[in-house]
Amino acid sequence: MRNALKFCTTFIAIASLSGCVTYVDGVKQTSGKKVAVSGERTLTGRTWLIKPDCTLSRIPNVRVTQPPKHGHVEIVQEELYPSYDSGDFKKCNTVKVMGIRGYYTSNTNYIGPDSYTARTSYGDGTDIEDAVISINVVK
């Protein structure tokens, strides 16, 4: 089944990746950085799982495992356009599918660093990823 599906392997596709990818107990560990304006809802990640014909395979499961200390995160199921730079699935970039987006909002008037961790799984128990999102909250 894995060969017949394509998924975004990183919940933090919107955030810039930094550092290397590692695995702990079979779970992929990634990190990303994002800038957010204080008190404003900011997109920090998105993920999807589609078939070769660009239709939805299933909606990934995303949950916050470590919440931010200076704000909150919303995990929202909504339509999105996949984003592939190259390969067979690039044709799917113009087809809306249901996926998951993560939004961060800082506490009012908070300025400084914050972070949260989100765990994404794609339904078969083998493709699991923890993403640490580091956020620089500015005025």
| Residue-wise pLDDT tens digits, 86-125 | 999 999 999 999 999 999 999 999 999 999 999 999 887 6
Q: Are the CB atoms for 100 and 76 separated by under 8 Å? A: yes
pLDDT digits (tens, 9 = 90+) for 74-97: 999 999 999 999 999 999 999 999
pLDDT digits (tens, 9 = 90+) for 27-75: 899 999 999 999 999 999 999 999 999 999 999 999 999 999 999 999 9
Strands 27-37 and 61-66: unpaired
Tell me which residue of 28, 87, 27, 77 sits closest to 56, measured CA to CA.
77
pLDDT band for position 131 (50/70/90)?
A: very high
Separation of alpha carbons 138 and 36, rounded Å: 6
Rounded to two decimals, the pTM is 0.84
Collapsing DSSP to helix, strand or coil, 113 comes out as strand
Separation of alpha carbons 6 and 11, rounded Å: 14
- For each of the domains in the chain, give its residue range(s) and CATH number, in order of start: 2-138 (2.60.40)
CB proximity list for 134: less than 8 A, separation 6 or greater: 31, 32, 33, 34, 113, 114, 115
